[in-house]
Amino acid sequence: MGGRAVLVTGASRGIGAAIAAAFARLGDRVAVHHRGSAALAREVLAGLPGSGHVIVRADLADPGAVREMVDLAAAGLGGLDVLVNNAGIYLAHPITEVSYEQWQQAWRQTLAVNLTGAANVTWCAVQYMRHTGGRIVNVTSRGAFRGEPSHPAYGASKAALNAFGQSMARALARYRIAVATVAPGYVDTDMAADHLDSARGAEIRAQSPFNRVATPEEIAAAVVYLASEQAEWASGAILDLNGASYLRSLPGERLEQVAERPGAHV
């Protein structure tokens, strides 16, 4: 079989569907994961160029289902070379506007999918990659750095996934597995449609000096690069993809101070 074996979680729509299509155009075989969107997953599968693609299903909050899903993906693809942890949920729960029970439920659900679920998928995938090498790319969020006042569990889960990816980059390099992360801002997807089509749409677009939000294909292009053979040295990196709408600085010091260091390159 030609190409690589690629598992993309949350691939039935939006960013995940674009990522699946981008890998398929390279000649890779893709496992399209979904939780409960079988019809959408079939549409994505039908639109993928090439052959050898499969659909797999699992609720990422269920550790047993995760392990079975990864095993089925590897069996259907003939191995596993690339994992993209893209799946995530985005539940609103402003701290002053929800009950204590609703607060706890939002945290349980969000962390179970966005963080623990991704960690469990990674563990299962590494059992296949550890003997052959591979690539893992995590999809997090600008909100991990900027904060998510109405979705605090989401922001926290994505910040933790950033840290998890960097831990795995150090742990897995000896197995020739590189791990990197992309952190998008707003992307023109179904998940963001309610916000982009609301009265806040113009303000959201104006957050970027380009006066727009990202396309799913732009995020997919970055993921494909980070999963490439040439990107091993990007292992541990977190790539901001937010159109300069939020710029991170080094903690505790100004750019001028960095520039004054001997041998600094800024």
Cite the active site residues.
154
Tokens 């596993």 belong to: 80
- Within 10 A of 47 (CB to CB), how many other CB atoms are there? 11
CA distance 167 to 181: 12
Pick from 64, 242, 243: nearest CA to 143: 242
Pick from 25, 80, 91, 89: nearest CA to 56: 80
Tokens 């699946």 belong to: 20
Q: Alpha-carbon Rg of the chain, whole angstroms?
A: 19
Strand partners, 239: 182
